[in-house]
Structure 1
Amino acid sequence: MKKIIIGTLFSALLFNSCNIDDSINTDPNVAYTTTAESVISSAQKSLSDYVNTPSVNENNFRLTMQYWQETTYVNESNYDFVNRNVSNTIWSDNYVAVLNNLNQAKGLVENYIPSASEISTWSVTKKNKLAIIDLLMVYTYQNLVDTFGNIPYSQALQLDAHPLPVYDDGATIYTSLIQKAKADVQSLTTGSSFGVADYYYQGDISKWKKFGNSLLLKLGVAIADSNPTLAQATVIDAIATGVMTSTADNCQLPYQKTSPNYNPLYDALVASGRDDYIAAAPFVNFLIVNSDPRISSYYQLNEDDEYVGQTVGAPGEVDVYSRIGEFAHKPDYPGTIMNYTEVAFYLAEAAARWNTSTPATAYATAVQASMNEWGVSNANITTYLAVHPYNSANWKQSIGLQAWAAFFNQGQTSWNFYRRLDYPVLQAPTTAAQEAGGKVPVRMTYPVREQSVNGTNWAAASSAIGGDKLTTKLFWDKF
């Protein structure tokens, strides 16, 4: 079988080729030389695995946002991310397993020679495939910028030409991502693409258009305080062109009931045979005080038939405190990349900032979208909204608190709203790692590996953002 060499930011990795399969039983670190379909499938699963995992070795944002708490080993709840080299894993998950595979898929599409029967439709198919690949790259790069700040971008994924890539300015990257996403949406044309190898939308171009516009909405809202002119223009264009309008538009990976294709939540909470997680007190108490009906979906009752969360940063017994909800114990629970609830909250924020719609109505729609997502009855939604109406005098608080309530299972999304709107008001535990400076982290530090391998560019990037610290605000986090 043929082999290909794939460049990473810090090493060359050798991956074997493999035949495409209609299941998701593929190694997320494999790139294939047969078809782009194989590679896109692998990249999509790897992306979903990263975004949805609760692993303390990589995606810690459920802990950071004080939804979850660890039972025994509480390093990460105390923001000690160096002990497990969390940043290294985030970096490799996204650059190697996702972006490199997407880049390989792009090359396979560009170099593909269509058969005689494919020639007549290949122009459209090729454009669609390249646009889908690029949208996934835009999504991934945005996640990386929102996690670290300045990152390798213009020289990334080019091992031969740039084995030690420079770090690009985060604001400049955002501008490029917006331009790319707009071009991608315009390129998408009715016709074929990846078909069933596209695990998110099964090749449905209309759904990818909505995803692309929703991604533009997300990009625009994110820079509302740092570049309001570009932000507003991007948001208005995205809404006009067509964002997600219902759960039918959700971008999700349909996990399966068997290994290795079950949801990483199930892997951590059930398949591992471990009891590593319980409810965190700040969020549980917030739900109780506000009589939030989603609490029964988010958590399980403890041995005394109560919802109880542990103090952040302190260990706790699984029977004394609430376990994570039953949804996370289902192996085939879908993995969310972006969903209608998230889009509804961006629309609410856009309405509050720029009157793109009636703010109070958009706020209610967002809250209702979340409640519907978690199976809350219409009667309970009406009651909840009556008690928690939109507050135009402090819209950041209204939307920020409701976003915290909504994104229990979307840790990084919640973290983004928290940093942008400054609600909820979270307190770091008194036991927090010294590196946190007594605060809840607002960014992830760069990988230790980058310091040792790409030290010159790491040092320049660290200086440019104001220091490689957990307390250094990103360029868009202005207040």
Structure 2
Amino acid sequence: MQRYIYILGLAILLSATGCDKNFEKINTNPVLPATLDPAYLLAQAELNASWGSSTLTYQGAIVRHTMHPFLGVLAGGNVNQKNPAVERALWDQYYPLVRNLVDIIDKTADDSARQNLYHMARIWKAYIFQVLTDTYGDIPYSQAGQGFLESQYFPVYDPQQEIYKNLLKEVDEATGSLDAAKAVEKNDLFYNGDIGKWKRLGNALLLRIAMRLSKADAATARTYVQKAFQGGVMSSNADNCMMQHSATYTNAFGNQLNGSEKANYYLNAMFVDYLKSDNDPRLRAIAVLYGDATQDPAQTTQDKDPAHQVGMPTGYDNSTIPAAPGYPGSLYKYSQIDRLTLGSITAPCFHVTYAQTLLLLAEAAQRGWIAGNAAAWYQDAVTAHMQQLAVYGAAAAIAQGDIDAYRATHAYNPAGGIEQINTQYWIASLLNEVEAYANWRRTGYPVIPANAYPTQDIPQGQSIRRLRYPDTEISLNTAHYQEALSRQGADELNIRVWWDVQ
């Protein structure tokens, strides 16, 4: 028995010794990469930044681009109501992108061969953070994305004023440091590593960030507007920062508009009425009346005649809208976004565009911050956006003759220039709802009356000025959440962020 125990023990000892031999080789997957090229993380951060349907529910409804009369899971800007699951959507979508971008920056900061990737990540990280802070106000910034690198799982909330100061610094430095003579990053989904286009994107973003401060800190805004302009902003629609989708990597808006919610989202009356009254050729490219789904389930019947389009008014739900003025008799008789063009599952997502950039230049010139012709930039911006629509397909393209006719009958008027410019910005930002919403809060244009829908979630006569923080922040990051509220104010829909000055 003792001899058996001895032999068994020796066998166990030998087998253990044998396991140590070539241990690393045996336990290494020969086909699984041991490291990940950080360029793939940038591609993921670009792809996953495309807007989700939550921005239709809140921002799109608030700025009167879209309207949906249904409550429950779709309640939001349409009825001035709190909806935690939808309010947190951008937070949940964008903070994982921050983590990836922080990881890229950490891996490439001291790598002389990857300096362009390092600076591209800095620029895109600034874009992501501008969206987040514009949406919520004070947010985790300086310590965000540091969970893996620094074990920082409960980051502090930085004041929005400090965030903006750093965004300007980051984009200015990163854009100026991009070098076309260094390695090209071909995994970049926006520009295939074209450094000239990244420089123009960086300066266009710098212009956007600076203009956001036009009321909160005009001196800083002017300084950085001039830097962006001198550095060289976007020069054509070829510079547009957009994510092109496909049947494999689909557009989230398109999925929503062609899926279960296709009969729920409509174009807003304010938007449709403005384009109709202005004889704007973009209405034909954007709007469509579909057949009654109860009679035509596939809704193959389409009417794109601008004269027939009817936008859905704000302030009503599905039970009260029959009492709305001009009710056409059925929800199906309200106009929707064309699901074959702007609402397609393969439609691109635009983040920063040439048209938006020209309009910001026009405003800066109108304010006297840069030398230039505000009227020319304004007219060129209108042309650029009309031409941009062709990216959605031939059915959305606007004939050059129609563009020329619109320009000829819609002159720029300096006396009302700021309103005129920013009303066009509102049109040019359709489906880029976070930007349309931010620019409206900054400028007050177009003039949008408060939603009259009866609600207890904000005081009557006020509008939604920000979205609330996720419940997980309240329960898990409590101390820093409370510190943010002590500066910013209550975590409510009607509280203004720092740059949103009355």
Secondary structure of 1:327's counterpart equals coil
Show CA shifts across 1:84-108 (max 9, x none): 4223222121112x10111222333
Deviation at 1:467, TM superposition (A): 2.6
- What is the number of equivalent residue pairs in this alignment? 433
Secondary structure of 2:350's counterpart equals strand
Q: Which amino acid counterpart does residue 193 of structure 2 have in structure 1?
A: G
Aligned to 1:356: 371
Is 2:317 the counterpart of 1:314? Answer: yes
Q: Which amino acid counterpart does residue 49 of structure 2 have in structure 1?
A: L
Deviation at 1:152, TM superposition (A): 1.1
Distance 1:396 1:435, change over 3 A: farther
Show CA shifts across 1:117-148 (max 9, x none): xxxxx62x311110011111111111111111
Distance 1:434 1:469, change over 3 A: same
Task: State the alpha-carbon separation in 2 of the partners of residues 169 and 59 from structure 1.
Answer: 27
Secondary structure of 1:39's counterpart equals helix
Is 2:106 the counterpart of 1:107? Answer: yes
Aligned to 1:431: 453
Between structure 1 and structure 2, the one with the greater Rg is: 2
Task: State the alpha-carbon separation in 2 of the partners of residues 192 and 436 from structure 1.
Answer: 53
Deviation at 1:177, TM superposition (A): 0.9
Deviation at 1:79, TM superposition (A): 4.8
Is 2:60 the counterpart of 1:62? Answer: yes
Task: State the alpha-carbon separation in 1 of the partners of residues 204 and 32 from structure 2.
Answer: 33
Q: Which amino acid counterpart does residue 144 of structure 1 have in structure 2?
A: L
Task: State the alpha-carbon separation in 2 of the partners of residues 166 and 59 from structure 1.
Answer: 29
Deviation at 1:440, TM superposition (A): 2.6
- Any residues of structure 2 matched to 1:117-266 within 5 Å, and which? 123=112, 125-159=113-147, 160-191=150-181, 193=183, 195-258=185-248, 261-266=249-254
Is 2:85 the counterpart of 1:85? Answer: yes
Show CA shifts across 1:158-204 (max 9, x none): 23543222211111111111111111012211145563321111111
Secondary structure of 2:186's counterpart equals helix
Task: State the alpha-carbon separation in 2 of the partners of residues 466 and 444 from structure 1.
Answer: 13
Q: Which amino acid counterpart does residue 362 of structure 1 have in structure 2?
A: W
Q: Which of 320, 339, 349 is 2:353 aligned to?
A: 339
Distance 1:432 1:68, change over 3 A: farther
Deviation at 1:37, TM superposition (A): 2.3
Deviation at 1:424, TM superposition (A): 1.4
Task: State the alpha-carbon separation in 1 of the partners of residues 215 and 32 from structure 2.
Answer: 47
Query: 8 Å contact 1:278–1:309 — kept in the other structure?
Result: yes
Deviation at 1:355, TM superposition (A): 4.3
Aligned to 1:473: 496
Task: State the alpha-carbon separation in 2 of the partners of residues 181 and 132 from structure 1.
Answer: 9
Q: Which amino acid counterpart does residue 472 of structure 1 have in structure 2?
A: I
Query: 8 Å contact 1:148–1:445 — kept in the other structure?
Result: yes
Q: Which of 381, 391, 401 is 1:366 aligned to?
A: 381
Q: Which amino acid counterpart does residue 101 of structure 1 have in structure 2?
A: N
Q: Which amino acid counterpart does residue 276 of structure 2 have in structure 1?
A: I
Query: 8 Å contact 2:80–2:451 — kept in the other structure?
Result: no
Segment of structure 1 superposing worse, 305-314 or 201-210: 305-314
Task: State the alpha-carbon separation in 2 of the partners of residues 150 and 271 from structure 1.
Answer: 35
Aligned to 1:396: 418
Query: 8 Å contact 1:69–1:277 — kept in the other structure?
Result: yes
Show CA shifts across 1:6-59 (max 9, x none): xxxxxxxxxxxx979xxxxxxxxxxx94221222221111112xxx32246x87
Q: Which amino acid counterpart does residue 349 of structure 2 have in structure 1?
A: G
- Any residues of structure 2 matched to 1:435-474 within 5 Å, and which? 435-438=457-460, 439-474=462-497
Query: 8 Å contact 2:38–2:104 — kept in the other structure?
Result: yes
Task: State the alpha-carbon separation in 1 of the partners of residues 186 and 54 from structure 2.
Answer: 29
Distance 1:192 1:225, change over 3 A: same
Is 2:290 the counterpart of 1:291? Answer: no
Q: Which amino acid counterpart does residue 436 of structure 1 have in structure 2?
A: I
Distance 1:63 1:468, change over 3 A: same
Segment of structure 1 superposing worse, 217-226 or 150-159: 150-159
Q: Which amino acid counterpart does residue 34 of structure 1 have in structure 2?
A: L
Is 2:257 the counterpart of 1:269? Answer: yes
Query: 8 Å contact 2:273–2:311 — kept in the other structure?
Result: yes
Query: 8 Å contact 2:309–2:335 — kept in the other structure?
Result: yes
Deviation at 1:294, TM superposition (A): 0.7
Distance 1:232 1:410, change over 3 A: same
Task: State the alpha-carbon separation in 2 of the partners of residues 19 and 294 from structure 1.
Answer: 50
Task: State the alpha-carbon separation in 2 of the partners of residues 181 and 59 from structure 1.
Answer: 30
Deviation at 1:376, TM superposition (A): 2.9
Task: State the alpha-carbon separation in 1 of the partners of residues 450 and 84 from structure 2.
Answer: 20
Task: State the alpha-carbon separation in 2 of the partners of residues 110 and 361 from structure 1.
Answer: 41
Aligned to 1:25: none
Q: Which amino acid counterpart does residue 319 of structure 1 have in structure 2?
A: Y
Secondary structure of 2:430's counterpart equals coil
Show CA shifts across 1:284-315 (max 9, x none): 11111111111111210355762011122433
Task: State the alpha-carbon separation in 1 of the partners of residues 410 and 493 from structure 2.
Answer: 33
Secondary structure of 1:126's counterpart equals helix
Task: State the alpha-carbon separation in 1 of the partners of residues 79 and 468 from structure 2.
Answer: 11
Q: Which amino acid counterpart does residue 137 of structure 2 have in structure 1?
A: G
Q: Which amino acid counterpart does residue 430 of structure 1 have in structure 2?
A: A
Identity of paired residues, percent? 29
Instruction: Give the TM-score normalised by structure 2.
Output: 0.80
Distance 1:219 1:243, change over 3 A: same
Structure 2's unaligned 5+ residue stretches are 1-30, 292-302, 322-329, 390-396
Aligned to 1:46: 48
Distance 1:55 1:152, change over 3 A: closer
Task: State the alpha-carbon separation in 1 of the partners of residues 179 and 352 from structure 2.
Answer: 22
Deviation at 1:386, TM superposition (A): 4.1
Task: State the alpha-carbon separation in 2 of the partners of residues 284 and 19 from structure 1.
Answer: 53
Query: 8 Å contact 1:78–1:432 — kept in the other structure?
Result: no
Aligned-CA RMSD value:
2.4
Q: Which of 270, 275, 283 is 1:282 aligned to?
A: 270
Q: Which amino acid counterpart does residue 333 of structure 2 have in structure 1?
A: V
